[in-house]
Amino acid sequence: MSAAPKRLSQINLNTLRIAEAAARHANFTRAAEENFITPSAVSQQIRKLEEQLEFRIFQRRNNAVSLTPEGQEFIMAVRDALDRIILSRNDVVRRREQDTLKISVLPTFAVRWLLPRLSAYQKAHRDTQIFVSNSYKCVDFRAEDFDCAVRFGQGQWPGLHAEPLFFEELMPVCQPALWNACFPNVAETDDLRLLRHFPLLQSETCVAYWDEYLRVLSGDTILQEASRIRFDSCLLAVEAAACGMGFAIMNKVYVERDLESGRLIAPFRQTLHRDDGWFFVCPERTKDQPNVRSFAEWLHAQAAAYGSPAPQAAAE
């Protein structure tokens, strides 16, 4: 390899940026200010670059500098190369942002249902970056940069595309040891009055669930005097139940894996089906984007396997 090509291969990209700035300003001092270095550092970088190129880029007259004919041709090529680098970088970032799926979900839904399944989606869609945000606040798609969300309700969100996933099925659950300590010979029962022997754990986000469950399934509001412990989320209530603090009234989809593993049990046969449920929602503008559509279809498949069937058509 000849000496000249070797020297050219050692040209630093930052040096080219400094040379371009010096040519644009026709001034080493202003180029130094733009690049946060000293004028003498600019002069040294330019001198080294000229030695590597084997021609002069600038003519120096007192405090003024101007491009030589060779320098003018070279700087034009440098600007074109730098522009191409910037455009290429922007294209990569744009594609990466397009391949990022930004999802907003409720905290308990995220922890108890979505996260245990999300790794399977990620493995099947390795080119898609996933960002999950959990909040009780409904995301404002007009002001916040999200592609889709999972919301709880009856599907009525004006201006949004909504698809039902599954609906509520409430059941009391507790730690096996807690139940067996009182009723060791009772695996299942229809007698809801037995709940009086246990504290009732409830969430402030679903404060009426116990009363509704008991009223609908027993015909009256029994257990008015039952001890109650309140938590600010269903997530804490179900963990308290698993720790043996009492019975939590929970959605079946949130505790299905705990029931399968034996971490929790549901000794009462009665379950309460409600009209509220979980919906996949997104703005109309994003519903047909490939990554959004793919995620929605995956959610539907997961919901069909683990959720209560959605009793109504998609709401707009």
Question: CATH code at 22?
Answer: 1.10.10.10
171: tokens are 């059941």
pLDDT of 129 higher than 90: no
pLDDT bin (cut points 50, 70, 90) of residue 311 is very low
Residue 82: the pLDDT is: 86
Give the chain's domain count: 2
pLDDT above 90 (res 98): no
pLDDT score for 161: 94
For residue 219, give the CATH number of its domain: 3.40.190.290
3-state helix, strand, coil in the chain (%, to 5): 50, 20, 30
CA neighbor of 277 nearest in space, from 155, 156, 109, 112:
155
Clarify whether residues 175 and 288 are in a common domain. yes
The residue behind tokens 């009182």 is: 182
Choice between 181 and 89, residue whose per-residue pLDDT is larger: 181
**Does 130 map to a domain?**
no
- DSSP 8-state secondary structure symbol assigned to residue 189: B
Confidence class for position 92, pLDDT limits 50, 70, 90: low
200 and 271 part of one domain: yes
- 130, β-bridge pairs: 101
Asked which of 61, 96, 131 is the last residue of a domain, the reply is: 96
Q: Which helix (H) or strand (E) holds 67?
A: strand 64-67
Q: So what's the pLDDT on residue 316?
A: 33
pLDDT classification of 312: cutoffs 50, 70, 90? very low
Instruction: Look at residues 57, 80, 96 and tell me which one is the last residue of a structural domain.
Output: 96
What letter would DSSP give residue 167? E
pTM of the model: 0.64
Band the pLDDT of 1: cuts 50, 70, 90.
Answer: very low
pLDDT of residue 95: 53
Burial class (CB in 10 A: 0-12, 13-18, 19+), 165: buried
**Residue 277 near residue 152, CB atoms below 8 Å:** yes
Percent of the chain at pLDDT > 90 equals 45
Instruction: Give me the pLDDT at residue 90, please.
Output: 59
Q: SS3 of 57, please?
A: coil
In a domain, 189, yes or no: yes
Query: What pLDDT score does 60 carry?
Result: 85
C-alpha span between 299 and 279 (Å, rounded): 10
Q: Could you tell me the two tokens for 160?
A: 């949004």
Residue 298's pLDDT band (boundaries 50, 70, 90)?
very high
Q: Is residue 239 part of a domain?
A: yes
The answer as to whether 131 is a domain residue is no
Of these ranges, 90-99, 198-207, 253-262, the one predicted with the greatest mean pLDDT is 253-262
CA distances from 40 to 14, 33, 232 (A): 16, 12, 63
Give the range of the structural domain holding residue 35, as residue numbers without chain letter: 3-96
Cα dihedral value 137, 138, 143, 149, nearest 10: 120
Task: Report the alpha-carbon distance of residue 307 to residue 184 in Å, rounded.
Answer: 30
